[in-house]
Structure 1
Amino acid sequence: MTEPVPSPSDTARSRRRILYADTAACVLLAATAALLVIARGMATHGLLSTVMNIVAQACAAGAVLLLVAALWRRPGSGPFLLGPVLSEREDPERVRAQRVMRALYWKLIILRSVVGIIVLQAALTAISAILPL
């Protein structure tokens, strides 16, 4: 049995969700940059505080790389790395809908990971600031 062809409204809804995910990625990119500026401008006292601050800055670099990868992925950017090989007999609407869903899935997975990294970065920065007190 084959799957039913997704309706154009489902595809449009997924495209809107991709736009929302891109907006969230831009906001997270700004938050990461702000935390990086705070971490770089903070005076650290002691070895543990310095190490935590360096790890927080490394988290920022990793989050930025992941966010750029999330923003880079577009629904029409070609075949998905681990996706099935599509035959020529496939319906073009189904192929287009699958690409949109894969791009949305890709973005949401990366955004979920980045949120965790940013929370870790913020916690390390806060602990690094409070530790010398």
Structure 2
Amino acid sequence: MLATRVKAFQAAGSRPQVRGASVIVAARPTKATDFKGLDNAELLQKVSELKREHLRLEYMQRTRGNTINPGAEANPEAIAPKPSEFKQVRRSIAQLLTLLRERESEAGINRKESRKLRKEAMVAGGFGRF
């Protein structure tokens, strides 16, 4: 019975109404091989840049996209960052740190020394207590 209704509906030339599908355009995720050409200093610099970006995204999320002073008038067109942006930044940071650790283990640096070196680099890069 239902099949005959569907056939009759399709024969009439009408198509069933389909809800508008939203098109999701995802940013291309980075690959660890994208960073293999960088030396250790550049990797650490890239990590600090990405951590700053992550902090900026967190601030924008808390203020719902407004990056202005709290006393100023809010921007009604401000858009909060998407969760996928956070994921992409965190993933890139993890890839860079993994690549750094692989290189350090090949050089014979143990985990404790590696962590000490990374902390010194972060403090020198402007991050206080990382």
Q: Which bin holds the TM-score, normalised by the shorter protein?
A: 0.3 to 0.5
Q: TM-score, normalised by structure 2?
A: 0.40
Larger relative helix fraction: 1
Q: TM-score, normalised by structure 1?
A: 0.39
Task: Pick 1 or 2: higher relative contact order, CA cutoff 8 A, min separation 6.
Answer: 1
Computing the radius of gyration over CA atoms, which structure comes out larger, 1 or 2?
2
